[in-house]
């Protein structure tokens, strides 16, 4: 029979097991107790607060750096935009040269500005650029810039108006000037805009000045530039002119646009006609002729002889008569005021009728004396 006590644990084994179990539980409890403070510091509320505080400090530092970088980028962007309004060549290098020069008084600073920038608008923008970078300079130079800026702000009204007009039209002047492929065209356009705002000259004289300065082939571009420049000026935060002054300038632009339309029609009608070919078919010459007689109707005869040239001497009277009739028809289509007063219009039309009548009379007398010519007309 098998021994029934073989697999039965002894009492001592029960006590050992209990002791071991109690000991294990004690170690587990101790470990749990020991781990408690570590868990409290590493993952408890205090640690969360500490990590949140550290993250907040890091975020504040990052935001401060971001704002500083953004401010610098905005400052650089503002400087780049300011340079867009500066028409002086190599303006950034000239401004850097002034920043690096040894000047301490407003007078010395203004002498350097006048030497580097001969235009009042460019000087003003350069002075503002220096003011924006004054933090890189010493106290004496910063004070000199502040003084020079205050003096510039107190300039006479006419100078301030010219300065503002030059700034507001600069971007348009640069765009149109580059398209014209004409030396110094942006600066010339800026000067022409300033002059247009203040001149008391007649409208036709203004138009002639534009043609003389930029060429007849660019007169449409100049007129478009003037219209765009005055719109930019009016939309600016500190426009160069009062509402009344802008109204007057816009009225003149309307008149000049009408002049452009009528001279375009006149020049095409005359220069492209086969009747003009024996004498002169140049668009520029007939444009000049029209502007002369619009300015001084009494100069019709002289201007016509100059435009028709010496070739008119050898042409038959019949060609003269037909061509003068064409001119009469073209001038009858010219608009009236403000470009042409009724009196001036009468002088031009009467003069052309007299010249045409004289040419026809000479043609008739020449035909009567020439039997071959009479036979040709009768065939």
- Per-10-residue mean pLDDT of the chain, 379 residues long, equals 40 45 47 46 58 61 53 47 85 95 96 97 96 95 97 96 98 95 94 97 95 96 98 96 97 95 96 92 96 95 90 78 94 88 93 88 64 43
Long-range CB contacts (< 8 A, 24+ apart) of 200-203? 202/295, 203/252, 203/255, 203/256, 203/259, 203/338, 203/339
* pLDDT value for 375: 42
List the structure tokens of 8. Answer: 């039965």
The pLDDT value given to residue 274:
94
181 within 8 A of 214, measured Cβ to Cβ: no
Give the per-residue pLDDT at 22.
45
| Its pTM surpasses 0.85 | no
pLDDT of residue 337: 84
For position 106, what pLDDT does the model report? Answer: 96
Q: Quick one: which of 296, 297, 315, 308 has its CA closest to 366?
A: 315
Neighbouring residues of 291: CB distance < 8 A, sequence distance ≥ 6: 204, 207, 208, 211, 263
């Amino acid at each position: 029979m098998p021994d029934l006590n073989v697999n039965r644990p002894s009492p001592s084994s029960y006590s050992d097991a209990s002791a071991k179990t109690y000991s294990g539980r004690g170690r587990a409890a101790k470990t749990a107790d020991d781990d408690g403070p570590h868990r409290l510091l590493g993952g408890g509320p205090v640690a969360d607060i500490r990590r949140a505080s550290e993250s907040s400090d890091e975020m504040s530092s990052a935001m401060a750096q971001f704002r500083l970088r953004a401010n610098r980028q905005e400052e650089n962007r503002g400087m780049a935009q300011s340079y867009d309004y500066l028409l002086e060549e190599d303006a950034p290098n000239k401004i850097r040269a002034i920043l690096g020069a040894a000047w301490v008084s407003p007078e010395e600073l203004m002498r350097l500005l006048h030497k580097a920038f001969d235009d009042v608008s460019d000087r003003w923008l350069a002075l503002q650029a220096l003011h924006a970078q004054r933090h890189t300079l010493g106290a004496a130079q910063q004070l000199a810039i502040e003084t020079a800026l205050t003096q510039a702000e107190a300039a006479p009204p006419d100078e301030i108006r010219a300065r503002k007009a030059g700034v507001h039209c600069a971007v348009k002047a640069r765009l149109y000037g580059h398209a014209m492929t004409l030396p110094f065209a942006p600066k010339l356009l800026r000067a022409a805009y300033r002059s247009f705002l203040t001149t008391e000259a007649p409208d036709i004289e203004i138009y002639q000045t534009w043609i003389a300065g930029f060429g007849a082939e660019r007169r449409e571009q100049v007129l478009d530039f003037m219209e765009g420049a005055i719109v930019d000026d009016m939309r600016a935060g500190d426009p160069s002119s009062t509402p009344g002054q802008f109204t007057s300038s816009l009225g003149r632009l309307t008149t000049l646009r009408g002049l452009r339309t009528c001279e375009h029609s006149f020049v095409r009608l005359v220069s492209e006609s086969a009747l003009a070919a024996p004498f002169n078919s140049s668009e520029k010459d007939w444009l000049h002729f029209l502007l002369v007689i619009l300015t001084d109707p009494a100069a019709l005869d002289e201007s016509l002889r100059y435009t028709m040239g010496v070739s008119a001497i050898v042409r038959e009277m019949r060609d003269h008569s037909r061509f003068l009739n064409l001119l009469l028809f073209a001038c009858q289509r010219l608009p009236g005021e403000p470009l042409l007063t009724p009196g001036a219009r009468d002088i031009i039309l009467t003069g052309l009728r007299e010249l045409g009548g004289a040419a026809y009379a000479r043609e008739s007398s020449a035909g009567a004396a020439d039997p071959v010519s009479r036979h040709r007309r009768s065939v």
